Amino acid sequence: MRTPATRWPALPLAAWQDTRDTLQLYTQVVGKVRMANAPMINHWWNVTLYPTARGLTTSLMPHPTGPAFQIDFDFLADRLEIVTVAGEERTLPLQPRAVADFYAAVMDLLDELHVGTRIWPMPVEIPDVVPFPDDHAHAAYDADAVRRFWLALVETTRVFTVFRGRFLGKASPVHFFWGGLDLATTRFSGRTAPRYSRDVPNCGPHVMEEAYSHEVSSCGYWPGPPGEEGVFYSYAYPEPAGFRTASVLPDGVRWDDDLAEFMLPYERVRTAEDPDAALLAFLQSTYEAAATAARWDRAALERN
């Protein structure tokens, strides 16, 4: 049985940044297939991926003319799997491969399975992007690094699910947003929010307006900037007065002015004596700071 110290793998970004950037684009290709086929759900919950026992999945998707189908990243077998309810399956090895080639191969396999899907072939939430069919620069794939990232998602999902269960109000699933390559879960006060106005690269204003149509306290994990192992984050929208100066746990949390959110380095959690307790303290204390400052009806929204 794994000890807590080995359940949370080390993820120094400097060692896998090229792979991370390529993986993000791979997940965007697959995520856009889900977006094109799944019915709209509030806050774009219809586009996300979900961690599984082997990687990431779209879950079952309808198709307007073909059979229902599902796309899975299997990070243990290093392959992408596309399966239909008609019993057909196609696979694509996950290996060093240009995004242009990955995109073309996925589109061809969908056609073979009679679930052809047209997507907007432009990356989102990333500045200075190249359309998928033209991207021959991003081609790195370190399978071991991807597996470590997936295991970090597995552990984070487990703790986030405990945290989500403490809330009785409207809350998102624990899900993976391919736009930012982050795992997140969001709580809602039940009140509407002012129109979202911050610019997000290659992402239309209607996208963010839908995402932030209601007041939220949101948290997640993002495989962060160079020199780090990623960060756990927590923010509130709209940001209530006093939120950014609140006392939160554990030691090592910092406020980022540019992103307007609290951040806790991933390595602080994985090296803690009790990683679960450290992460839950961060999630709970930052939520309480947001909910208290914004005067949420906490008695009605929280499980005692």
pLDDT score recorded for residue 5: 43
pTM of the model: 0.96
Residues 30 and 59: beta-carbon distance below 8 Å: no
Which structure tokens are listed for 128? Answer: 């200075």
pLDDT 10s digits, 44-85: 999 999 999 999 999 999 999 999 999 999 999 999 999 999
Q: Is the pLDDT of residue 149 over 90?
A: yes
Cis peptide before 4 (omega within 30 of 0): no
pLDDT score recorded for residue 6: 57
pLDDT mean across residues, the chain: 96
pLDDT score recorded for residue 224: 86
| Share above pLDDT 90 across residues of the chain, in percent, rounded to a whole number | 94
Cβ neighbours for 245, distance < 8 A, ≥ 6 positions apart: none
pLDDT 10s digits, 152-188: 999 999 999 999 999 999 999 999 999 999 999 999 9
Hey, how many other C-beta atoms are within 10 angstroms of the C-beta on 43? Answer: 17
